[in-house]
Structure 1
Amino acid sequence: MSDEIQLKLTEDEAWVLFEFVRRFSDTDQLSIEDQAEQRALWNLCCVFEKTLHQAQDISYEKFIAQCRDRLRDEP
């Protein structure tokens, strides 16, 4: 597994994102039910942009494919 990172969220962001993910887990459907969910996702994207750093010697598409491969469940 790759190195771990830590993300900082407000408690409100964490609860709103938890509910968003929980609802997806229950329904298998991603949908914004409240503008606060959209804001929390935008804020999370900003945190990712500040935190994550891609290897420079590989295309973004190949890099993401490798990340997905490592994260998938074993067959």
Structure 2
Amino acid sequence: MTADEGVTLQLTRSEAPVLFEWLARNDGAEALAFEHEAEQQVIRTLEGQLEKGLREVLDLEYAVKLAQARSHVMDAEA
């Protein structure tokens, strides 16, 4: 594997907005303990990629859709 070779992560349409919301809410939070600046950069990159891929973020009903996604994630785990 080379340093620039990509890695694919797979999330469901419900998991993606839940993760995005957590990342966005914690962006810059001092409570997160980063050992190295690179870790914070990777988190920001992931947040940006999710934001670009989620059309729900721009939806006026985003809060409702996020609540539904959270419920779906929890129901899938049960």
Distance in 1 between residues matched to 2:7 and 2:41, nearest whole Å: 9
Which one scores higher on RCO, CA 8 angstroms, separation ≥ 6? 2
Q: Where in structure 1 are there 5+ consecutive unaligned residues?
A: 1-9, 15-29
Structure 1 residue ranges (4+ consecutive) displaced by more than 2 angstroms after TM superposition: 10-14
CA RMSD of aligned residues (A): 3.1
Q: 1:59 to 1:66 in 2, by over 3 A?
A: same
- TM-score norm. by structure 2 comes to 0.49
Q: 1:61 to 1:52 in 2, by over 3 A?
A: same
Q: Identity rate of aligned residues, in percent? A: 29
The residue correspondences of 1:1-75 to structure 2 (distance < 5 A) are: 11=5, 31-54=33-56, 56=59, 59-72=61-74, 73-74=77-78
Distance in 1 between residues matched to 2:39 and 2:7, nearest whole Å: 8
Q: Which has the larger radius of gyration?
A: 1
SS at match of 2:46: helix
Native 8 Å contact 1:32 1:38 kept in 2: yes
Residue-pair matches, total = 50
Give the partner amino acid of 2:40.
Answer: Q
